[in-house]
Amino acid sequence: MRSSLMYLFYKSPFENLKRHADKVHECAKMFSKAVVCHIDKRCEDFDNLTDQVAKLESEADAIKRNIRGHMPRGILMPVDKFAFFMYLREQDGVLDAVEESLYWLSYRTEGVEDQLGEDLKHFVNSVVPAIEKLSPLVGLAADFFKSPFKERREQLKSLIRDIRQHEHEADQYERDLIHQIFKKVRDPLQAFFLIRLVETIGSIADHAQNASDMMRAMIAK
């Protein structure tokens, strides 16, 4: 009874989860712009954009800690608590991978020339849509768990399918890029740098899909 009464007055954890997802969404365009800046060596905003991403990641970490540290024990939730925290972990992993990609990119200032640079831009653009869909996914989920209408469930499933498709496309770009790097890049250090960069960027879409898979598990309950 006590936990039931607590739940009546406890703010839904999905509110803070949505705030966290909004930070992910904010990072998406900054990430894409920063990569293009570095590849083309045509703007001076790379460091500033990287700092902004780091700031957003820090703010998102504070929200994550708040979610984990202020959820009362025994609180009633409309979803499995383990699945909820696993979703949060994967969504946070998106931000970590974005930040890691930009830091790794900053270690070499030469840019990426010719077609390989253009392919890398297309790869980033294939990853960004998966990031951008997490915020509307959480917003729709919050509404669904308040009023679990069938139409909202179908909308959630559609968004989840979209994220999965974006991840699939990004995965194909990743494999093609790595193949091109082995084929065209003769400098072993540059090849290592580019392959690790591509794998780290690819992990952004992986985390987004993992998050959407956890959401699929939550709405199936």
What is the pTM (predicted TM-score) of this model?
0.89
pLDDT at 116: 86
Domain ranges in the chain? 2-220
Q: Give pLDDT tens digits for 1-25.
A: 334 434 433 567 889 999 999 999 9
pLDDT at 73: 64
**Superfamily holding 2-220:** Phosphate transport system protein phou homolog 2; domain 2 (1.20.58.220)
Distance CA 36, CA 33 (A): 5
Weakly modelled stretches of the chain, pLDDT under 70: 1-11, 72-76, 111, 221
pLDDT at 204: 97
Distance CA 70, CA 58 (A): 18
